[in-house]
Structure 1
Amino acid sequence: MLTRYTRLFHTVRYLKPGQIGWRLYYRLLRQRVRRQAMAPLGQAERRRWVDSWSAPTWMPPVLIGKGESNEFEFQFLGERGGLASTEDWNHPGKSKLWLYNLHYLDDLCAQDADERSVEHRALVQRWLDENPPLVGNGWEPYTLSLRLVNLTKWLSGQQWQSGEPVPSPWLASLARQAQALSAQREFHILANHLFANGKALTFVGAFLQGEDAERWLRQGLDILDEQVPEQFLADGAHFERSPMYHAALLWDLADLIHLSECSGLVALRERAAAWRSFLERGLGWLQWMSHPDGEIGFFNDAAFGVAPTLANLDAYAERLGLKIPEPLAATSIVTQGVRYAARHARESGYVAVEWDHGGKAIIDVAPVGPDYQPGHAHADTLSFELSLFGQRVLVNSGTSQYGDDVERHRQRSTAAHNTVVVDNENSSEVWAGFRVARRARPGPVRISVEEGSLTVQGSHDGYRRRPGRVEHRREWCIGDGRLTVADSLRGRFGQAKARFHCHPSVSLSLADPKRGRLTLPSGQKISFSIEGGRAEVETTAWHPRFGVSQENQCLVVHFTHSDCLTRFSWAYS
């Protein structure tokens, strides 16, 4: 019981006072919130735009079938499900996240959406008929936010610009949904949730006209004016430090810029230059947080298919006439004809080292996230990912689900990442589905060049809360076909393990407890040796997408001394 309350204390102590106040407001004054959500509204009418919505899309179709009796079949998060009856919108047998995706109506703006216009009109009508105000998952603020943007884009598209009127009940529903969101803005959560609220209110306020629309537009822009500079750091990173959410919010910024062009509204055009600046820097950050395969690194909550890729975003940016800034200044060496370059994003806390022949290491020397909202954080401090010959070799766990169960806890754990576990504890106290109590604080980062090697040094104090007060220091030394990972533990501990999770396509074999080899699918071989520890191989799991688990192998190095070195070496041919 004491541990439970201690953990709760160390979670709540980081919150902003406003988060606590708003949480109490929404809990204690629910009827007032409902009255605001159902406040009388004027007649909803469309605003005339200078152009129709015509932005690119990255989302694949999620509507995979429609029956003759108006039944629909969808696939989200690797799981299929049907929409046959009204009850299916809130089906008890489906996860909360799956039902959220059902209510987003993402297919309205998915690839080749024009080919499914008849199905989409039927789907929208079903949502309106079967989801009365403030009932079910579809009326929660985050769900409202994503659906409102999809509806607004869809109703602003070319098919509605030919003079065909949007049905007045649909406009009335759009207004009611906006009012419900206005009454439930997520000031208690903040971060990407509040950003989504602001974007949605801005979209609806720009699409409709009248006093209500002007109010929603002001509310949305007020949120964005505060949250865009709050959430995007000076190095371009989104402050939650999840490459997946970072990519999603960059798309949001691109949407807002395009909205300013389509709507022609002065209030949006005045902000577009600032939004472009944040988007440009953010694209630069995502570029060096991605592997040679063009996909994101797996740090904190991250998976493929949830957010646009770097290529998707680059195409959108080009459409908007943006230029990607030059990369951050690099610390570089050339050895044996190969150039190694390290870039440190100081505000977000990541280091990326790139070299010829498709080599890249992405290193986490970062805080877990903003103190007041680390909900998407993993206990992954001092973890790293490695690509060689253009292929992923060492990978963090990824994310296959949300919720609050054993598997969610495992995927957020230190053991699911390429770092050191001390006495079977997490470096940061991740708990529940989206909570963090005491968290690891990274120490100063040092990048140096000497004797033909580029070295990155970092540390964290996450284990100092334990009786042995252990500090973990790690050094990555890279150069001339080799990587040495030197771990040092200062303090008292019973056991410690360094874990190196291999990509599922990489095979791992041991010659003895001190030596072994990794073999890539294209045949290249990477040898490793260990000092100060002994190795074993475990079967683990990698989660590249929601709903997907792939078996992989993990090199587990048991410390026999407080200092342990793992050396990887390979040859270019």
Structure 2
Amino acid sequence: MAGGMTHKRFNPGAGGWYRGTALYQMMALSGPAPRQLSLVPPDPWPGDAHLGQELLNNRFRFAGQIFFGDVPPWLEKSASAPWLVEMHGFDWLRHLRATGGDAARRQARVLVSHWLDLFGKRWHPVAWAPDILATRIAAWIGQHDFFLASADDQLRARIFDSLARQVRFLEHAVPGRLKGTALLGTIKGMVYGGICLNGLSRVTDRARALLNRELPKQVLPDGGHIEHSPAAQLLVLRHLIDIRGCYRAGREDVPEAVQHAIDRMTPTLRFFRHGDGGLALFNGAQEGEAVLIDTVLGQADARGRPLKSTPHIGFERITAGRTCLLMDVGTPPAPGLDEHAHAGTLSFEMSVGRERLVVNCGAHPGDQGVWRQALAATAAHSTLAIDDTNSSGVNEDGGLSRRPSKVQCLRQDGDEGTLVDAHHDGYFDRGSIIHHRRLFLAETGEDLRGQDKLTGTPGHEFAIRFHLHPGVRVATLEDDAALLLRLPSGALWKFRASGAFIETADSIYLGQGADPRPTTQIVLRGATQLGETLVKWGFRREGSDIDT
């Protein structure tokens, strides 16, 4: 296979050849097919009418790539793995639903029918990847009333026969090698299929057992998801809300593990939000849509204010006045759960009210190749890098090759403000270097003081980066040791530093979509000295809205 299909996520393993045989298709997947759904679970999530209009015009825009043509490009050779995942998952049916009208309904049927022609009874490592298949089951069932309720009998029969075969496939294939968010999304497909399709209730029992096993492992005591990503936090909480909704619609008892996970995860999702309602940009996350995040929090129906610390996934949140600061102070997620992990240890983001000031560069929807190498790198985060290398090894096709073995953090909250003191050994193999970072945010929220200390051998170059949001304007002051930063509202902040050379450089910001926005970064450069190297810096709110 060419293009994205060579990605490791589509490797079917040793049993892949057997799943493609006629014997497997006949023995394992055949059986009676239901004629209708026993119920349609609720689908509270908004679609995007603009994307729906593109689908109407046979333009398939997913994961930062777009392909088009009269024949759907299911196996486009130049498509990335994330594009193929979305294309075959059919979660985009809700975008057609948002467009509305008979044309959208007909297009949905045409695309589903075409997929059935090619893959309905023919196994393929992409089309039948368990997590993709489960997403498709949930999409076809969840959007039943939109595109299928009024379809002709022949198409309905084909779809229900395929749904039954796909659910039986999951019964045999799961959990396999799936972990993390992919496994929970796959269990959701099993819940939907087992509850909504007559004759497959045994799959529901299997899904319940998997939920009771997985959720205590994946949702940690601080409510954080084990992948340490705000994006994963949002996605898993959506999956759990859908699973709970399906159980309730079927008048079945919701597994206690599901409700407990929702209750714990909801405050932690709030933890990851900036004042503009979007998410912090750690470990493959973009800002997301504030409306969707609000919807998820509303549907969760779980109380709980944002936490100050999430020690199990390793983040700190400081709020004072109108300022919010989020900092990564944990070890990266474990191998197998680190597909979207970044080398951003001890990086931080800072927002003032609804305006972001200091950011990380974000993530590309494709999250592969050069984009992953660039945006997962330490240099794409507001932290310190040694010798232009990464604090964790970044793999081009996902995951980390190495990581710090020790990251420690101490927090002190006092009347005058909050101090976070952390260090990591991600550069220990480069001259036994340890990076210590201290951040103190005054109780007014208008004075952030930072200190980066390096211990180890001398002669190693370092760069401390502060990526600024594209809305921030930068002006150099006369003494060249300070910068004046102006937010879109006109609020002014002064940046000062000592112990390193200060400069500004170009940067990019990928907080939304696939198109990077140009922006600016502040860089403090120097070299390690014998013994201890110390750099001090700070952001302080200035006066009022004077013109720069």
One-letter code of the match for 2:438? E
One-letter code of the match for 2:197? L
Distance 1:495 1:162, change over 3 A: closer
Distance 1:163 1:402, change over 3 A: closer
How far apart, CA to CA, are the structure 2 residues paired with 1:445 and 1:205? 45
How far apart, CA to CA, are the structure 1 residues paired with 2:183 and 2:364? 24
Q: Residue 92 of structure 2 aligns to a residue in which SS?
A: helix
Q: Determine the structure 2 residue equivalent to 1:286.
A: 269
One-letter code of the match for 1:28? A
Q: Residue 53 of structure 2 aligns to a residue in which SS?
A: strand
Distance 1:306 1:79, change over 3 A: farther
> Cα offset for 1:421?
0.2
Q: Determine the structure 1 residue equivalent to 2:14.
A: 28
Matched, 1:311 2:277: no
Q: Deviations over 1:518-567 (max 9, x none)?
A: 11112111111111111111101111134221111010001356110111
Contact 2:40 2:144 in 1 (8 A): no
One-letter code of the match for 2:534? D
> Cα offset for 1:449?
4.1
Q: Deviations over 1:375-421 (max 9, x none)?
A: 21100010000002420001111111435423321111100001100
> Cα offset for 1:165?
9.8
How far apart, CA to CA, are the structure 2 residues paired with 1:309 and 1:442? 36
Q: Determine the structure 2 residue equivalent to 1:94.
A: 79
Matched, 1:238 2:225: yes
Q: 1:359 aligns with which of 320, 323, 326?
A: 323
How far apart, CA to CA, are the structure 2 residues paired with 1:167 and 1:517? 64
Q: 2:451 aligns with which of 486, 506, 516?
A: 486
Q: Determine the structure 1 residue equivalent to 2:88.
A: 103
How far apart, CA to CA, are the structure 2 residues paired with 1:431 and 1:306? 28
Q: Residue 54 of structure 1 aligns to a residue in which SS?
A: coil
Q: Determine the structure 1 residue equivalent to 2:341.
A: 377
| 1:555-566 equivalences in 2 (<5 Å) | 555-559=522-526, 562-566=533-537
Q: Determine the structure 1 residue equivalent to 2:249.
A: 262
Gaps of 5+ in 1: 1-19, 329-342
| 1:60-459 equivalences in 2 (<5 Å) | 60-61=48-49, 62-65=51-54, 72-85=58-71, 88-110=73-95, 112=98, 115=101, 116-132=104-120, 133-135=122-124, 137-155=126-144, 160=149, 167-185=156-174, 187-210=176-199, 213-265=200-252, 269-271=253-255, 273-305=256-288, 309-317=292-300, 322-328=301-307, 343-356=308-321, 358-402=322-366, 404-449=368-413, 452-459=416-423
Contact 2:340 2:367 in 1 (8 A): no
Distance 1:121 1:407, change over 3 A: closer
> Cα offset for 1:209?
1.9
How far apart, CA to CA, are the structure 2 residues paired with 1:66 and 1:463? 47
Q: Residue 506 of structure 2 aligns to a residue in which SS?
A: strand
How far apart, CA to CA, are the structure 2 residues paired with 1:217 and 1:418? 45
How far apart, CA to CA, are the structure 2 residues paired with 1:259 and 1:193? 19
RMSD: 2.9
How far apart, CA to CA, are the structure 1 residues paired with 2:81 and 2:287? 20
Distance 1:157 1:276, change over 3 A: farther
> Cα offset for 1:40?
4.3
Q: Deviations over 1:428-487 (max 9, x none)?
A: 112222121221244332122457232111111111122x11111100011142101100
How far apart, CA to CA, are the structure 1 residues paired with 2:16 and 2:86? 25
Distance 1:541 1:308, change over 3 A: same
Contact 2:64 2:365 in 1 (8 A): no
One-letter code of the match for 1:91? E
How far apart, CA to CA, are the structure 1 residues paired with 2:153 and 2:71? 30
Contact 2:130 2:173 in 1 (8 A): yes
Distance 1:165 1:278, change over 3 A: farther
Q: Determine the structure 1 residue equivalent to 2:514.
A: 547
Contact 1:78 1:546 in 2 (8 A): yes
How far apart, CA to CA, are the structure 1 residues paired with 2:509 and 2:391? 20
Q: Determine the structure 1 residue equivalent to 2:4.
A: none
Contact 1:247 1:309 in 2 (8 A): no
> Cα offset for 1:241?
0.8
Q: Residue 145 of structure 1 aligns to a residue in which SS?
A: helix
> Cα offset for 1:240?
0.2
Q: Residue 45 of structure 2 aligns to a residue in which SS?
A: coil
One-letter code of the match for 1:530? A
> Cα offset for 1:159?
7.2
Distance 1:83 1:283, change over 3 A: farther
How far apart, CA to CA, are the structure 1 residues paired with 2:433 and 2:25? 51
How far apart, CA to CA, are the structure 2 residues paired with 1:192 and 1:487? 35
> Cα offset for 1:371?
4.3
How far apart, CA to CA, are the structure 2 residues paired with 1:373 and 1:66? 32
Q: Determine the structure 1 residue equivalent to 2:541.
A: 570
One-letter code of the match for 1:245? A
Q: Determine the structure 2 residue equivalent to 1:503.
A: 469
Contact 2:345 2:391 in 1 (8 A): yes
Contact 1:105 1:147 in 2 (8 A): yes
Q: Structure 2-normalised TM-score?
A: 0.88
Distance 1:172 1:297, change over 3 A: same
> Cα offset for 1:179?
3.0
Which shifted more, 276-285 or 92-101? 92-101
Contact 1:235 1:281 in 2 (8 A): yes
Q: Determine the structure 2 residue equivalent to 1:8.
A: none
One-letter code of the match for 1:102? M
Distance 1:572 1:147, change over 3 A: farther
Which shifted more, 145-154 or 53-62? 53-62
Contact 1:427 1:463 in 2 (8 A): yes
How far apart, CA to CA, are the structure 2 residues paired with 1:500 and 1:65? 37
Distance 1:46 1:242, change over 3 A: farther
Contact 1:63 1:75 in 2 (8 A): no
How far apart, CA to CA, are the structure 1 residues paired with 2:490 and 2:267? 32
Q: Residue 64 of structure 1 aligns to a residue in which SS?
A: helix
> Cα offset for 1:138?
2.0
Gaps of 5+ in 2: 1-7
Q: Determine the structure 1 residue equivalent to 2:3.
A: none
How far apart, CA to CA, are the structure 1 residues paired with 2:368 and 2:217? 29
Q: Residue 148 of structure 1 aligns to a residue in which SS?
A: helix
Q: Determine the structure 2 residue equivalent to 1:471.
A: 434
Q: Residue 137 of structure 1 aligns to a residue in which SS?
A: coil
Matched, 1:462 2:426: yes
Q: Deviations over 1:39-67 (max 9, x none)?
A: 24211115764x64333113324332467
One-letter code of the match for 1:74? F
Q: Deviations over 1:260-307 (max 9, x none)?
A: 111123xxx141x43222112211001121100001000001124489
Contact 1:383 1:417 in 2 (8 A): yes
One-letter code of the match for 2:163? L
Q: Residue 167 of structure 1 aligns to a residue in which SS?
A: helix
One-letter code of the match for 1:103? H
Distance 1:432 1:308, change over 3 A: farther
Q: Deviations over 1:126-178 (max 9, x none)?
A: 22123342136322222212111101112267973999897221111112222
Distance 1:304 1:527, change over 3 A: closer
How far apart, CA to CA, are the structure 2 residues paired with 1:140 and 1:64? 28
Contact 1:199 1:224 in 2 (8 A): no
